[in-house]
Amino acid sequence: MARYRVAVIPGDGVGNEVAAEANRVLTAAATRFGFDVGLENFVWSCDWYLQHGEMMPEDALDTLAGFDAIFLGCIGDAAKVPDDVSLTMLLAIRKGFDQYVNLRPIRLYPGVTTPIATATPETVDMIVVRENTEGEYSRLGGMFKVGSPEGFALQTGVFTQKGCERVIRYAFDLARSRRKLGAGPIVGRVTNCTKSNALNYSMVFWDKVYDAVAAGYPDVATDKALVDAITMWFVKNPEAFDVIVASNLFGDIITDLGSMLQGGMGMAAGGNIDPERRHPSMFEPIHGSAPKYTGMGRVNPIASIEAVRMMLDHLGENAAADAVGQAIADVLVAGDIRTRDLDGTSSTSEVGKAIAGRIG
């Protein structure tokens, strides 16, 4: 029997509540599909910081390295630790494990309404491939003469040949295997999310790498859009998108907009992937920790359950992943059990139990 060791880091705020439902669904899928999951919980969080002066132990990556995958709830509680300190933990794992692809599917489940009139299950089916280890998130720069009239800050982006090329290549490979456009010699499309009209070094460089990689994929359609225009086109013509490849910051921004196409932050998940599988990949809802709702059992666990679906796919348990996706869809279509963000009255655990029940 296949056995997977999964590290669970619930994090802060509502993290414990959503992680509990992710665990429930993962366990149900394992029972139904005949594999074994060993879950191990790590309480690294802002509370941990208050006790230990760090978000996670110094050897945390060594500890996590032995796992097959990581589930991360949500990190951050500004009342306890400043966000730019607490979030170093997330960035340290992404970078430390060279999880250079942040995969963020944008798909609208049936039975979910969104504030965007163009969004239907037929029109919203795209996936953002976000660079996850460098770019604008390189954390290089400094603050100088702070508080004086001459004060200034520098924040440097780093775009390497290797870093750009590998993530763009991943996007093209993904477009080949997704087959969104169906029949014909063109198997998919990769939209280059750029801003090379204004960012005259980094994004011009990025575009050059994109063009060079694209030349190796004559069977995949190419497309280029400035990040500001993408925010408009996502709303106006969501059906025009298949795979979108974006730098770290741009990918972050457009996937928040994407979450509204999906029915809100309660629906959006992502995977931080090491495609070479040298290290564990990490799966998470992309929402924050919503400290004010902690312990109220009111937040939507579907983003976390979607993260489990992605994790199962990554682990090669594709039938189990499909069953999780189907169970989410079934519960949403039935419509009677849903949380408040989807205009329901159900609790976090009622939704988790309903989805797990459909799998079992």
Can you give the binding site for Mn ion, defined by CB under 5 A? 252
Q: Is 310 in the site for ligand IPM (CB under 6 A)?
A: no
Partner in contact with 242, chosen from ligand IPM, Mn ion, none, beta carbon below 5 to 8 Å by kind: none
Among 348, 265, 261, 359, residue whose Cα is nearest residue 319: 359
Q: Between 267 and 296, how does the x/- string for binding to ligand IPM read (CB under 6 A)?
A: -------------------x----------
Identify which of residues 188 and 263 has a Cβ nearer to Mn ion in the complex. 263
For the bound state, the minimum distance from the C-beta of residue 249 to ligand IPM, rounded and expressed in Å, comes to 8
Nearer to ligand IPM, 19 or 90 (CB): 90
Residue 252 beta carbon to Mn ion: minimum distance, rounded to whole angstroms: 4
When CB distances are held under 5 to 8 angstroms depending on the partner's kind, the choice from Mn ion, ligand IPM, none that residue 225 binds is none
- Residue from 17, 68, 242, 252 that binds ligand IPM (CB under 6 A)? 252
What string marks each residue from 104 to 143 as x (binds ligand IPM by CB under 6 A) or -? Answer: ----------------------------------------
For residues 166 and 132, give the distance between their C-alpha atoms in angstroms, rounded to a whole number.
11
3-state secondary structure of 350: helix
Nearby residues of 102 by Cβ (< 8 Å), 6 or more positions away = 94, 128, 129, 130, 131, 132, 248, 251, 270, 271, 272, 273
In whole angstroms, the minimum distance from the beta carbon of 277 to ligand IPM comes to 22
141, with CB counted inside 10 A (0-12, 13-18, 19+), is exposed
Distance CA 209, CA 268 (A): 29
SS3 content of the chain, % helix, strand, coil (to 5): 45, 20, 35
Cβ 109 to ligand IPM, closest distance in Å? Answer: 20
Q: Give dist(CA 90, CA 15) in Å, integer.
A: 14
Among 65, 85, 87, 229, binds ligand IPM (CB under 6 A): 87
Residue 87 binding partner per list Mn ion, ligand IPM, none, with a CB distance cut-off of 5 to 8 Å that depends on partner kind: ligand IPM
Phi then psi for residue 290, to 5 deg, are: 40, 60
Cβ distance to ligand IPM smaller for residue 188 or 280: 280
Q: Give the shortest CB-294-to-Mn ion separation in angstroms.
A: 20
Rounded Cα gap, residues 324 and 301, in angstroms: 13
Rounded CA separation 176/185 (Å)? 11
